[in-house]
Amino acid sequence: MNGKKYKRAITYGTYDLFHIGHLRLLKRIAEMAEELYVAVSSDEFNALKGKKCIVPFEYRKEIVESLRMVTKVIREDNWEQKKDDVQKYDCDLFVMGSDWTGKFDFLKDYCEVIYLPRTEGISTTEIKQEIKDH
């Protein structure tokens, strides 16, 4: 056994201005599962969430796909698809950052749900603000 507790993990994110916090979160998830599926939010879905991306979806997807710990990248188009994705891709682990704690507990009927702590001192929102201030 390779020491990994789960067969397939899935996580979701925008991954705009890909930074060390994104990388560390994905590495931690990959250490827990044999495979890591990552859903990248589409530009249209981000617009519905009130988020404006600097980097277009196709580029964000390509960046995440290039990471060796990522098995597969899928497109996220709406809030409701999470349950369907967990079932469709036979995921036994769902992981999000701790800023989402409790929001996806409804998925516990289908898989393990874990919220991991965010990397201290970095976020895309803070980076965008820093750029704006300069």
Determine what percent of the chain falls in helix, strand and coil, rounding each to the nearest 5: 40, 25, 35
Catalytic pick among 7, 49, 52, 103? 49
Q: Please report where in the chains the tokens 């916090």 appear, as a residue.
A: 21
Containing 6, the helix (H) or strand (E) segment is strand 6-13
Q: From the candidates 4, 7, 27, 51, which is the catalytic residue?
A: 51
DSSP 102: T
Query: Is 128 tagged catalytic?
Result: no
Measured over all CA atoms, what is the biggest interatomic distance in the chain, rounded to whole angstroms? 51
Tell me whether residue 7 is one of the annotated catalytic residues.
Answer: no
Residues 6+ apart with CB under 8 A from 114: 32, 93, 94, 95
Query: Where are the strands (E) in 26-98, listed by range?
Result: 33-41, 72-76, 93-97
Residues with catalytic annotation?
49, 51
